[in-house]
Amino acid sequence: MENIALIDSFSEFKDDKLIDRVTLMAILEDVFRNALKKKYGSDDNFDIIINPDKGDMEIWRNRVVVADGEVEDPNSEISLSEARKIEPDFEVGEDVSEEVKLIQLGRRAILALRQNLISKIHEHDNTNLYKQFKDLVGDIYTAEVHHVRPKAVILVDDEGNEIVLPKEKQIPSDFFRKGDNVRGIIESVELKGNKPQIVMSRTSEKFLEKLFEQEIPEVFDGLITVKKVVRIPGEKAKVAVDSYDDRIDPVGACVGMKGSRIHGIVRELGNENIDVINYTTNTQLYISRALSPAKVSSIKIDEEAKRAEVFLKLDEVSKAIGRGGHNIKLAGFLTGYELDVIREGSPMEEDVELTEFSDEIDEWIIQEFAKIGLDTARSVLNQDVEDLVRRTDLEEETIQEVMKILREEFEE
């Protein structure tokens, strides 16, 4: 009964874990050999025959017959009188094979066998899982929300594998409920103890690059190449694309008619604003394109310092800097240059830094203007009030009051 019950449990493991027959045989033999070593000191002289499919198993111990009183190693030698109890015609020097029943190992050893088997099966599963997901690092993966924790969302895929989406890898606007399907890239797989921890990310540049591959056929087919991606997750991204076929407009193909192709990607990323630009090896042109939607007047580049002075008309400055400085920051990341904005204008045209008005305008209001690249009096006065209401967190009444204060400065 002990043999049958144990082998039945092995068959259950095989069915549950989908382990191939050869692997299961190897694990079982390893488990039994460990038990034999503990019981007899060595397993070298044992033959183990396992048939998990049929649910039977045999263990045979091989010993050499020696004369009575000359047994030095009871595990590898058997006395003549003991051997003849097995078969009466044995002689000294012959080999004796004797079946060992599991019950002879003791009940405690049998329990240990099962625990050891469970451990080995888990170790095998974890190794396979680690290898499987290690090959998926950098690829898009979909899993279902199992439960939401303060610092992470725990996802489960179709095979029951657990995937972690940490809070810092989530887009700020992400909101998940149990049962939701979530897409991201497999960012890393690490062994925590013996168990692999699979980490998903939705904030990685690689996720946006892979979305382009998935959603835009020309990128998937290699007709369009994504040269570089930079992101401020949930806010803004810039993607440089190129094509080796002059007949293909890479930006047009990626954006689609009236934004039809890019729209799905934007929605997936929580309405992240995505600028798609044509890549070029012409540095000046590349920087100019990267600062879109601003129109650049001229650029002065210092290759050694990797800096560029970008000259813009006053009404283009706020566009170049963007809300919260996101546009100029991403343009710098995309091109690899530190960008300095230089305002163009008549030398005779007076302007005053907004900070000079700190006695009349609250500091937080000045900061609101600075967030969208407006840090001088004239840069504010050149804006439309309705546009400023839309782009800042300021009320129209507040903006009108600020403009009144600024106009008075110049009227004097």
- CATH number of this structure's domain 354-411: 1.10.150
Q: What CATH class is the domain 136-201?
A: mainly beta
* Residue 6 scores a pLDDT above 70: no
* E-assigned strand segments in 137-270: 140-148, 152-156, 162-166, 181-192, 195-201, 224-232, 236-243
Of 117, 23, 110, 7, the residue nearest 56 (C-alpha)? 7
* Residue 138 scores a pLDDT above 80: yes
Question: Cα 250 to chain center, whole Å?
Answer: 28
* Residue 267 scores a pLDDT above 60: yes
In this prediction the pTM is: 0.63
Q: Model confidence over 300-346: pLDDT tens digits?
A: 999 999 999 898 888 888 888 888 889 999 999 999 999 988 887 64
* Residue 69 scores a pLDDT above 90: no
Q: Please give the pLDDT value at position 343.
A: 80
Which superfamily, per CATH, for 205-343? K homology (KH) domain (3.30.300.20)
Q: Model confidence over 219-265: pLDDT tens digits?
A: 999 999 999 999 999 999 999 999 988 889 999 999 988 888 999 99
- Tell me the backbone φ, ψ of residue 44, rounded to 5 degrees: -60, -30
Q: At what angle do helices 283-290 and 326-335 cross, to 10 degrees?
A: 150
Q: Please give the pLDDT value at position 346.
A: 46
* Residue 2 scores a pLDDT above 80: no
Structural domain boundaries of the chain?
2-127, 136-201, 205-343, 354-411
Q: Model confidence over 155-198: pLDDT tens digits?
A: 999 888 899 999 999 999 999 999 999 999 999 998 777 788 99
Please state, for a pLDDT cut of 90, what percent of the chain lies above it. Answer: 39
- CATH number of this structure's domain 2-127: 3.30.1480.10
pLDDT-derived band at 76 (thresholds 50, 70, 90) equals: confident
Within 13 Å and on the Cβ side, how many CA atoms surround 63? 26
Asked whether the domain spanning 354-411 has the same topology as the one spanning 205-343, the reply is: no
SS3 state of residue 276: strand
Using the structure block, give the residue that is written with the tokens 């400055």.
317
Rounded CA separation 199/104 (Å): 47
- What residues contact residue 284 under an 8 Å CB cut-off, 6+ apart? 299, 301
